């Protein structure tokens, strides 16, 4: 099992950060490099507990689909999405939010397990972990920029 933990400090209210983190449209904007788009389930707006979304994207030159469901939510402090179907053997993404001294601390705990036994483990160690970490950091960078901006037109 691989665990990626990230912390992002955002100069914006906790509710705004929480809503941006679960905004399907912003997610699509923040993942333009992989041409990620919502193709089934909740395909626009704010995802809620019990909703699912199927993402289609190109990773490593291969078109892939990943379906996740929001299994837990405690507005505006926490939500968790879990893979229902996709390339990972298992995948879980916990999003935590804390508000202190006028800023929001957004924490990600992204855990996954690769399929294909030892070959999957080698691929993870050599390539996938770094790729996933960069993917999440870029997504958080864009979320931070939008949250700290007063421009409402940054979200589709």
Does 156 score more than 90 pLDDT? no
pLDDT given at position 150: 73
More confident residue, 32 or 25: 25
The answer on pLDDT for 152 being more than 90 is no
Strands of the sheet with 2-10, listed across from one edge: 2-10, 103-113, 90-100, 78-85, 62-74, 52-59, 37-41
CATH number of 2-148: 3.30.530.20
Please state the domain extents for the chain.
Answer: 2-148
User: Residue 33 — pLDDT band, cuts 50, 70, 90?
Assistant: confident
Q: Is the pLDDT of residue 72 over 60?
A: yes
- The pLDDT of residue 70 is above 60: yes
- Note the pLDDT tens digit of each residue in 44-58: 999 999 999 999 999
The more confidently predicted of residues 129 and 34 is: 129
Q: What is the mean pLDDT of the chain?
A: 94
Q: pTM of whole model > 0.95?
A: no
User: What b/e sequence results for 64-87 when a residue is b if at least 16 CB atoms lie within 10 Å of its CB, and e otherwise?
Assistant: eebbbbbeebeebeebbbbbeebb
d(CA 58, CA 69): 20
**For residue range 96-140, what is the model confidence (pLDDT) as tens digits?**
999 999 999 999 999 999 999 999 999 999 999 999 999 999 999
The residue-averaged pLDDT of 66-78 equals 98
């Amino acid at each position: 099992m691989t665990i990626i933990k990230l912390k992002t400090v955002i100069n914006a209210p906790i509710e705004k950060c929480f809503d941006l983190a679960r905004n399907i449209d912003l997610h699509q904007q923040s993942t333009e490099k992989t041409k990620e788009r919502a193709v089934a389930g909740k395909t626009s707006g704010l995802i809620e507990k019990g909703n699912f979304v199927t993402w289609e994207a190109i990773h490593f030159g291969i078109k892939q689909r990943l379906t996740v469901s929001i299994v837990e939510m405690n507005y505006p402090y926490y939500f968790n999405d879990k893979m229902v179907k996709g390339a990972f053997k298992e995948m879980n993404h916990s999003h935590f939010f804390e508000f202190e001294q006028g800023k929001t601390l957004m924490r990600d705990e992204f855990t996954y397990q690769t399929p294909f036994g030892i070959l999957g483990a080698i691929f993870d160690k050599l390539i996938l972990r770094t790729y996933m970490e960069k993917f999440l950091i870029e997504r958080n960078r864009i979320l931070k920029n939008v949250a700290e901006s007063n421009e409402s037109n940054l979200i589709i």
